[in-house]
Structure 1
Amino acid sequence: MEKNRPPIWLLPNLLSLDAPLVAVAWMWMLARALRVEYVHPTAWWVLPAAIWCVYVADRLFDGWSHPDIRESSPRHAFHWRWRWLLVVLVLGIGSACMYQALYVLPRSMFSAGLVAIMLCGLYFLVAFFQGRDVPFVKNFLAGMIFAMGVGIPVNAANASLLVTDFNDVVYAMRNTGLIDAIWNFGWMVIRTLLVIFHQCREMLIFGLLCMMNITAIDLWERAESAPDQETAYGHESTLTFGLIVLAGGSLVFAAMYADEYSKPFYYAVMVAAAVLQGVNHYRDHFSANAQRVLADIALLIPLPIFLVF
């Protein structure tokens, strides 16, 4: 193997295929937890394709706004090297996803997807102005947007996702005025967030797990470059505390709010958090690239739980 050729096990991470795979796996688990027997077939490929586009755009954006990251991160270096091909692919795949959302998927999914796109815009705005500290706000937004993407197709099949959809916004703009259109749009945003994260508590817990997954990689990278052991230990302790709270919260939700169908979902979050903590504790035994791959594997390990329960 050539010296500069990446190992095969790193390719899914370099190609941004790990996040789409995680999304499909957790959408299947969520459908099982909510007893949803039918999810629109198109959603099974539109969701991972859209997530792939967002991840590639994010890494290209990072490479453009922070040139130093092209040297320190193999993922960003790879994306920047192939940036023009990736831009063409993102535009083509993104257009195909938009066509499916407009003309194939249910209108409720399109309306909820607009809310997710709006949050993506907020995410990139925060990313542009972020400093050198650990970007907790950015990671929180990323985790919740990822959870929304997983939850929207399942919630659309499970119940009426929205009281107000985008058609009502357009109708108000054409017939009753701008104020009514803004009101309808605001209610659409609020209703979507309530359905995804309040009525479906599984998505809130999963969003926090995604946040911890992203934050783990950030903290590990900062620990590697920390000037002293005390700073590195502080990063590890911060992550440990967050994962313990997440695992404990999942256990509480499983005991107090979950039925026999949704309990495995909370157990899956708890197992994923425990595996992440295991990687965190023994991270000195792994390379930086292996740590990133293991962080994603931690989110896939709980999948067999739904085959047992």
Structure 2
Amino acid sequence: MALAAEQTSATTRFTSIPAKLPVYWHLLSLDAPTVAALWCWSFSRVAHIDLPVLAPALLAVGTWLIYVADRILDGLDRTNWQRLRERHFFYSQHRSTFLIAGAIVSPAFAWIIFTRMSPAARLGDAAVFAFAAFYFLIVHTHGRQAERWLPKELAVGVLFAVATAVPTWARDTNGKSALVPPVAIFAVLCWLNCVAIESWEGSATDSSHSTTSWAARHLRGLASTTLALSLAMALLCLHDGASVSLFLASAMSAFLLVWLASRKQRFGPLQLRVAVDAALLTPLLFVAWLG
């Protein structure tokens, strides 16, 4: 534990506050909630639905709770210590604080869900959460054996994308199929994000699922294909400014993955970890057109 504390403090010892912000955005598990809320809102704009502010906010809180639990559980696995990274060491140092925060947030989160969320959205979120909770429980109790039938990277990518789309799907009465292409491309980006993290942090080994190992070897090609597909979809949706904007944002995210993959030797593991999540914030560049 002392070694973990030294490693975390060394990682976060920067000379300026701006330099610390991206690191703590990651260490405090705020990266995934930010991405989830942003894409949730973006999907609602593509569907031309005025999503209540509470919807992406609840999604962000729920995502944060899941990631906090996952990182705490990872830190408790002493048999897999060599695979732990700065975020796990950070949670080991501040476990009590996160447990208290989770205990405070969870009841309020549950109360709002059951009193303020629409029944359709609640049902969709409950289904996604139940599957996610069951899968992660199996992963944390059976380790790598549980990933033989469904690799963690693929599961996280698909579940994350579907969860961000549920608030819009639950309120969309004009035809849910229009959201399928952007959600599918986002799911691919999330999968590639997870594969990149596994590969660049040195966790993708011979024991990894075959799909993860294959995707890690062909990451640039897969990201380039996603880039081309996103641009093609943008051309097909020129009549809809919001859809074009989101497909262009997807293309830019794919381009950033290609760029990071080609220059990964220039960055440290933590820098790459922060950058690969930041690459999914591209809808921020198109807020004016999405809004």
TM over 0.5: yes
In the alignment, which of 82, 88, 100 is matched to residue 100 of structure 2?
88
CA distance in structure 2 between the aligned counterparts of 1:160 and 1:67, rounded to whole angstroms: 51
Give the match for residue 300 of structure 1. 281
CA distance in structure 1 between the aligned counterparts of 2:225 and 2:78, rounded to whole angstroms: 32
Give the match for residue 155 of structure 1. 169
- Give SS of 2:117's match: coil
TM-score normalized with structure 1 length = 0.75
CA distance in structure 2 between the aligned counterparts of 1:62 and 1:19, rounded to whole angstroms: 17
Say whether the 8 Å CA contact 1:14–1:78 is kept in structure 2. yes
Give the match for residue 184 of structure 1. none
**Aligned ranges 1:163-182 → 2 under 5 Å:** none
1:234–1:98 distance in 2 versus 1, CA, 3 Å:
closer
Q: Does residue 89 of structure 2 align to residue 57 of structure 1?
A: no
Say whether the 8 Å CA contact 1:101–1:109 is kept in structure 2. no
1:308–1:80 distance in 2 versus 1, CA, 3 Å:
same
Give the match for residue 10 of structure 2. 4
1:70–1:89 distance in 2 versus 1, CA, 3 Å:
farther
TM-score normalized with structure 2 length = 0.80
Q: Does residue 129 of structure 2 align to residue 117 of structure 1?
A: yes
CA distance in structure 1 between the aligned counterparts of 2:215 and 2:102, rounded to whole angstroms: 34
Aligned-residue Cα RMSD (Å) equals 3.1
For residues 43-102 of structure 1, what are the alpha-carbon distances to aligned partners after superposition, in whole Å with 9 as ceiling and x for unaligned? 232111110001111111222235544774000111122223212322332222211111
Identity across aligned pairs (percent)? 23
2:102 is aligned with what amino acid?
Answer: V
Q: Does residue 245 of structure 2 align to residue 267 of structure 1?
A: no
In the alignment, which of 239, 258, 264 is matched to residue 219 of structure 2?
239
CA distance in structure 1 between the aligned counterparts of 2:147 and 2:260, rounded to whole angstroms: 19
Say whether the 8 Å CA contact 2:249–2:285 is kept in structure 1. no
Give the match for residue 209 of structure 2. none
Q: Does residue 147 of structure 2 align to residue 141 of structure 1?
A: no
Q: How many aligned residue pairs are there? A: 267
For residues 222-243 of structure 1, what are the alpha-carbon distances to aligned partners after superposition, in whole Å with 9 as ceiling and x for unaligned? 28999xxxxxx98753211221
CA distance in structure 2 between the aligned counterparts of 1:26 and 1:154, rounded to whole angstroms: 11
CA distance in structure 1 between the aligned counterparts of 2:194 and 2:165, rounded to whole angstroms: 19
Say whether the 8 Å CA contact 2:46–2:179 is kept in structure 1. no
1:251 is aligned with what amino acid?
Answer: L
Larger-gyration structure (1/2): 1
1:69–1:201 distance in 2 versus 1, CA, 3 Å:
farther
1:207–1:5 distance in 2 versus 1, CA, 3 Å:
closer
Give the match for residue 99 of structure 1. 111
What is the CA-CA distance between 1:105 and the residue it aligns to? 0.9
